Structure 1
């Protein structure tokens, strides 16, 4: 993932999130449910129930930034069978997740052109 910041840590929130939540709602979730400081510069990754959208929240020392990614046809390989409410990802695992791979099993998504 090409970013303007170099995150210290990446946390994946295991449970699905209502994607009507924006920056304030997600920052509150980070602090209330994950018991984490949202102002550390760490990335916090969230997924919707349909598993076709991700949101990434982080503090960049001047304010919060919120990124969103939508998969066109497939679903994100979300590690939902973890007992913890959060999962720590490496930078490489985050790249895998954003590229459509299973962060635990590395299964690639396949697309073909309609042209």
Structure 2
């Protein structure tokens, strides 16, 4: 549907694809490591994940934001510093 390549590399690391079920009680992460796929899954016994409300759209997130989602936080938790990437000039 999204026409993405799970075998691709993203910038400096391999791409990870995350999916959430409708009830938002489980997250699955798919990653190709060069010889096979890894599937990581986290299922909650209580509550639900603060997953974005855009089921038909893609959203790129940083590794830090993925950790936030897996820890039960939203993608924009209050008090979090904005991630910056300074340019290196030689």
Give the TM-score of the pair, scaled to structure 1: 0.58
Bigger drift between 53-62 and 83-92 goes to 83-92
Instruction: Tell me, yes or no, if structure 1 residue 102 matches structure 2 residue 74.
Output: yes
Alpha-carbon distance, 1:69 to partner: 0.2
What aligned pairs does 1:70-109 form with structure 2 within 5 A after superposition?
A: 70-80=43-53, 82=54, 85-104=57-76, 106=77
1:41-66 deviation per Cα after TM superposition (whole angstroms, max 9, x unaligned): 30000000110000000100011111
Equivalent position of 1:63 in the other structure: 36
What is the Cα-based RMSD across aligned positions, in Å? 1.7
The list of structure 1 runs, each at least 4 consecutive aligned residues, that deviate by more than 2 angstroms after superposition, is none
Aligned length: 73
Gaps of 5+ in 1: 1-32, 108-115
Alpha-carbon distance, 1:83 to partner: 8.1
Corresponding residue SS for 1:89:
coil
Give the TM-score of the pair, scaled to structure 2: 0.73
Structure whose residues are more often helix by fraction: 1
Larger relative contact order (CA 8 Å, sep ≥ 6)? 1
